[in-house]
Amino acid sequence: MTFSEVTKTFATSLPGTDSYVKLRKAMRTLIQEDPKNASVYFLIFGFARTYVMLYEDQEVSPQFAEDNQKLMLSYLNILDEALKKQDAQSIYQALNKVVNEYENSKKVF
């Protein structure tokens, strides 16, 4: 499994907590398989874990779920592009970009 494969799977999954559970599990696996990039996987793992904890037992509107899936997908795409470059500087910049975008967002996860 690669980060790109996980990103594609998430992009085509139905919006909702099940997608985030799968994303979280995939990130845990990638942390073990690719410890060199563990910080990338851990960031996404944390986002996915928080989403599940917050919304697992709550009814959310389809629009809310779709909007947040798009937001997560934007983060995944930023990080995926950096990982494809296999350059530490690109990965570091992508991590900073995602964190800054998250800080300026509604912080739903």
Per residue in 94-106, pLDDT (tens digit) is 999 999 999 999 9
**Confidence at residue 84, expressed as pLDDT on a 0 to 100 scale:** 98
Instruction: Determine the Cα–Cα distance for residues 53 and 83; give it in Å rounded to an integer.
Output: 28
Q: Distances in Å between the alpha carbon of 104 and those of 73, 100, 101, 107?
A: 16, 6, 5, 8
Averaged pLDDT score across all residues of the chain = 97
**Confidence at residue 73, expressed as pLDDT on a 0 to 100 scale:** 98
pTM of the entire predicted model: 0.96
The 10s digit of each residue's pLDDT in 57-90 is: 999 999 999 999 999 999 999 999 999 999 999 9
Q: Which two tokens stand for residue 62?
A: 């389809």
The 10s digit of each residue's pLDDT in 38-63 is: 999 999 999 999 999 999 999 999 99
Instruction: Determine the Cα–Cα distance for residues 39 and 41; give it in Å rounded to an integer.
Output: 5
Instruction: Determine the Cα–Cα distance for residues 2 and 76; give it in Å rounded to an integer.
Output: 12
Domains of the chain, by residue range, sit at 3-104
Instruction: Determine the Cα–Cα distance for residues 98 and 81; give it in Å rounded to an integer.
Output: 12
